[in-house]
């Protein structure tokens, strides 16, 4: 499909770029998107939570009262979890939350996310651009001109330090390199702005898989 290319001034350049239908024009698979987002979020968890159980608490192991005749439940150690300062009963232990996902499912999920943005009309293509120096105002002007003021994701072909630094102070604006593009970031963005060079990188990524 043909899509108009915009300049950073917000005006069409008179040029167009071809978005491959097998990447940007498929029927979105919502379940694949769900699985990929779930996998990304799970893999981001550290899993380092830990609470001490009764065997790890410092304290006397002396039996604190006689077994019978007190009218209350028997108790063998002050480190029991039923007492204040005792160990945690069935407390959390460090473990991995990572969820494995088939490469083909990840591929379908990313294509579904890109296709969904095209169908929603929230995808724009812009000419490759850079800034002479890091400047927040310059990045704000680009967002305003392209009418992507609310949670935009701008994808560049290569890392550009000036563009990244210019966007850093803008809340909810996200700039990333095409090779790092993932389903979660695409779905979180209200507007997806792809540079012409980034589209070529995306094509290469899916071609090489």
Contact indicator for 169, 100 with CB cutoff of 8 Å: no
pLDDT value for 102: 93
Contact indicator for 149, 190 with CB cutoff of 8 Å: no
Domain boundaries, the chain: 2-45+100-207, 46-96
Q: What is the pTM of this model?
A: 0.82
pLDDT (tens digit per residue) in 97-143? 998 999 999 999 999 999 999 999 999 999 999 999 999 999 999 99
Strand 174-177 with 152-156, pairing: parallel
The CATH class given to the 2-45+100-207 domain equals alpha beta
Confidence of residue 1 (pLDDT cuts 50, 70, 90): confident
Compute the distance between CA of residue 106 and CA of residue 123 in angstroms, rounded to an integer. Answer: 20
Compute the distance between CA of residue 208 and CA of residue 197 in angstroms, rounded to an integer. Answer: 17
Shortest CA distance to 80 belongs to which of 60, 100, 95? 60
């Amino acid at each position: 499909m043909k899509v108009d290319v915009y300049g950073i001034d917000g005006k069409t350049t008179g040029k167009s770029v071809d978005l491959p239908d097998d990447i940007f024009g498929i029927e979105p698979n919502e379940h694949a998107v769900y699985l990929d987002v779930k996998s990304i979020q799970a893999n981001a968890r550290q899993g380092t939570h830990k609470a001490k159980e009764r065997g790890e608490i410092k304290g006397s192991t002396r039996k604190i009262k006689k077994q019978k005749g007190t009218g209350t439940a028997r108790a063998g150690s002050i480190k029991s979890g039923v007492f204040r300062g005792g160990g945690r009963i069935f407390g959390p232990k460090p473990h991995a939350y990572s969820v494995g996902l088939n490469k083909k499912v990840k591929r379908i999920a990313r294509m579904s996310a890109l296709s969904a943005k095209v169908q929603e009309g929230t995808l724009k293509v812009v000419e490759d651009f850079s800034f002479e120096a890091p400047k927040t105002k310059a990045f704000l002007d680009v967002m305003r001109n392209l009418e992507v003021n609310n949670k935009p994701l701008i994808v560049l072909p290569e890392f550009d330090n000036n563009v990244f630094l210019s966007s850093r102070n803008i809340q909810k604006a996200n700039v990333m390199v095409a090779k790092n593009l993932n389903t979660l970031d695409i779905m979180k963005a209200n507007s997806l702005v792809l540079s012409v060079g980034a589209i070529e990188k995306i094509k290469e990524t899916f071609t090489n898989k």
